[in-house]
Amino acid sequence: MRLSLQVQYAICGVFDLAYNSRGEPVQVRVISERQAIPARYLEQIFRRLRQAGLVVSKRGPGGGYQLAREASAITLRDVVEAVEGPVATTLAMEPAPELPAFRPDFVWESLAERFSDALAATTLDALCRQAERAAVPRAETEAPMYFI
């Protein structure tokens, strides 16, 4: 099973928000640079995440995206379904009427359910804790800019 590039980018984007934002809005451009994801593509993904209620956006200076809920309340299934729709539908195999009836087509629904359960059991908070244990470096905080 392979996750689509959109889903991979969405997971990287929300992980970056959870792991590096320190509660402050983060611009897509910054996430794009840190995660090596094209900014325009990431903007489209974040629009879907915002529509799904996973992130909120703030306009203007100091604006950007933030998680809409605590990292412990957002699961990877939430992210996948925001980008691609229900996991069961995403993993469903189209029945082919011209193929023999002896195929184990019943297994796809079961596998989709197991995969969905695994995604639902993984929160962004758990992912961040795992990143800390794996010594994933956090982004450096930029010094605040003061204008006189």
* % of residues, the chain, pLDDT over 90: 62
64-94 per-residue burial string, b: 16 or more CB within 10 A, e: under 16: bbbbeeebeebbbbbbbbbbbeebeebbeee
Q: Given this model, what pLDDT does residue 147 score?
A: 61
Nearest to 35 by CA among 56, 59, 14: 14
- Domain boundaries in the chain? 5-133
What's the pLDDT tens digit per position in 50-66? Answer: 999 999 999 888 889 99
Query: Hey, what CATH topology would domain 5-133 get?
Result: Arc Repressor Mutant, subunit A (1.10.10)
9/132 Cα distance (integer angstroms): 20
